A and B are shown apart, each in its own frame.
Chain A
Amino acid sequence: DGGITQSPKYLFRKEGQNVTLSCEQNLNHDAMYWYRQDPGQGLRLIYYSQIVNDFQKGDIAEGYSVSREKKESFPLTVTSAQKNPTAFYLCASSFGQGLSSEQYFGPGTRLTVT
């Protein structure tokens, strides 16, 4: 059954702690993305990766880090430097460059930092 999985669904952390969100896909997609969703603001791009061992900052990368050691995995670390980390985080993937850039999303991780 192909798709994108994110874990955990809910995550609670204390302020000042780093936390890593998991994203795995078995769609054989080259490109992967991380978005942050806040009420009324749509989806904002945090980081993206078009190939293994390469990734680029999106629009709101400050306070976040990623790695892309395997094609199917793109974990996101929310560091203590992120000023307002509580949000709904979405991972997506697509086949890659070009016009056929349909992105498929995972179910999301809701992070609450207190």
Chain B
Amino acid sequence: QQQVKQSPQSLIVQKGGISIINCAYENTAFDYFPWYQQFPGKGPALLIAIRPDVSEKKEGRFTISFNKSAKQFSLHIMDSQPGDSATYFCAAPRDGNKLVFGAGTILRVKS
């Protein structure tokens, strides 16, 4: 069964710094890797996603880097802000249109 290993579990970054969260996945025949952002007491919201026909996708301050040969992908948050403090989940596809999620990374941006 597909598993996704996410690291670190928690991360503290100074305001204006770069937050980096990494995920590794196992074999998959499907190519879609989303990241979700979740604030306390809320449902996760799709933040950004990548299909590995590209190695990088940028949306504003958020960038996904994808390394297909290493089966790894990462989320970079540039110029991190206190409002970015949340839990971030990576996910990878598994048999059909289901997703398997990483365990999550709790990000705290200190002002």
Contacts and interface: CB of A to CB of B under 8 A. Distances in A.
A84 B101 CA distance: 21
B103 interface: yes
B43 interface: yes
7 contacts: A42-B102, A42-B103, A43-B89, A48-B98, A90-B44, A103-B99, A104-B46
Contact of B46 (A45, A96, A98, A102): A102
A104 B99 CA distance: 12
Contacts of A104: 46
Contact of B42 (A94, A102, A103, A108): A108
B98 A45 contact: yes
A114 interface: no
Given A42-B103, A99-B31, A99-B32, A50 B44 contact: no
B60 interface: no
B49 interface: yes
Interface residues of B, number: 25
B45 interface: yes
B104 A42 contact: yes
Contact of A101 (B6, B36, B99): B99
B44 A102 contact: no
Interface of B: 6, 9, 30-32, 34, 36, 41-46, 49, 51, 89, 93, 96-99, 101-104
A50 B103 CA distance: 25
Contact of B96 (A6, A42, A97): A97
A45 to B, nearest CB: 6
Contacts of A48: 98
A108 B40 CA distance: 11
A92 B38 CA distance: 14
Closest CB pairs A-B (n = 10): A105-B43, A101-B97, A42-B101, A42-B103, A43-B101, A108-B43, A107-B43, A105-B44, A97-B97, A106-B43
